Amino acid sequence: MAATPVFEEFVLDAVGATTYTFSGADIGPAAADRIVVVVCQTEGGASLSSATIGGSSADIRVQSNNGNVVTAIITRLVTSGTTADIVVTWNTSTLRCLIGVYSLTGATEVPVDTDAAAAASGTGQTLTVTIPANGCAINGDSHGSGTTPTTWGGSSPADYDEPPTGSSLFSGSLTPSTGSLRTDHSITTSHANSTQPIAAATVVWSESAGISAVVPSEFDMDNADIDIDGGGFGATIGASDVYLSPNDLLSEAGEVDIATAVNTWSDTQINLDLTSLSQAVLDSLQSMGPGARFIIVNVGGVPATDEHFSAVTLHRPQGFQMVLGAATPGTTTSRLTGMTGTFGGGRIEETAAQNPSTTNTNVANNGNREDVWSIEAKPLSREVQYDFRVLYGGVVADTITQTPQVTIAGGTAVPVFYHRHQTFKSP
pLDDT number for residue 424: 35
pLDDT number for residue 232: 46
Mean pLDDT of 16-30: 96
Handedness of CA 391, 396, 401, 405 (dihedral sign): positive
Per-residue DSSP letter, 282: H
pLDDT number for residue 219: 47
Instruction: Please give the residue that has the higher pLDDT: either 270 or 377.
Output: 377
- Among the listed residues 260, 262, 185, the one whose alpha carbon sits nearest the alpha carbon of residue 229: 262
Maximum Cα interatomic distance, the chain, rounded to a whole number of Å: 110
Cα–Cα distances in Å, from 123 out to 13, 23, 151, 193, 263?
Answer: 26, 34, 10, 6, 47
pLDDT confidence of 28, banded at 50, 70, 90? Answer: very high
Does the pLDDT of residue 221 top 60, yes or no? no
pLDDT number for residue 341: 80
Does the pLDDT of residue 165 top 60, yes or no? no
Q: How many CB atoms lie within 10 A of CB 14?
A: 11
Give the percent of the chain with pLDDT over 70: 56
CA gap 292, 312 in Å, rounded: 6
Does the pLDDT of residue 226 top 80, yes or no? no
Does the pLDDT of residue 299 top 60, yes or no? no
Check: CB of residue 32 under 8 Å from CB of residue 136: no
CATH 2.60.40 intervals, the chain: 215-315
Q: How many residues does the chain have?
A: 427
Minimum mean pLDDT range among 15-19, 74-78, 188-192, 321-325:
321-325
Cα–Cα distances in Å, from 171 out to 137, 188, 290, 376, 424?
Answer: 15, 12, 55, 71, 85
Minimum mean pLDDT range among 233-237, 274-278, 395-399:
233-237
Check: CB of residue 115 under 8 Å from CB of residue 201: yes
Check: CB of residue 148 under 8 Å from CB of residue 193: yes
Q: Which residue type is seen at 107? A: A
pLDDT confidence of 228, banded at 50, 70, 90? Answer: low
pLDDT number for residue 266: 46
Phi-psi region of 28 (alpha: psi -120 to 50; beta: other; left: phi over 0): left
Say what the pTM is: 0.56
Check: CB of residue 208 under 8 Å from CB of residue 78: no
Instruction: Please give the residue that has the higher pLDDT: either 259 or 137.
Output: 137
Does the pLDDT of residue 104 top 70, yes or no? yes
pLDDT number for residue 63: 96
The fold of 215-315 is: Immunoglobulin-like (2.60.40)
Q: Phi then psi for 24, rounded to 5 degrees?
A: 60, 35
Minimum mean pLDDT range among 41-50, 92-101, 142-151, 299-308:
299-308
pLDDT number for residue 377: 67
CA gap 389, 415 in Å, rounded: 18
Does the pLDDT of residue 66 top 50, yes or no? yes
Predicted confidence (pLDDT) per residue in 342-391, tens digit? 887 777 765 555 554 445 667 777 777 777 777 776 655 555 566 776 66
Instruction: Please give the residue that has the higher pLDDT: either 331 or 159.
Output: 159
Q: Which residue type is seen at 96? A: R
What is the average pLDDT score of the chain? Answer: 74
pLDDT number for residue 259: 57
- Among the listed residues 148, 142, 113, 144, the one whose alpha carbon sits nearest the alpha carbon of residue 200: 142
pLDDT number for residue 300: 47
pLDDT number for residue 13: 93
Predicted confidence (pLDDT) per residue in 197-211, tens digit? 899 999 999 887 555
Mean pLDDT of 5-32: 94
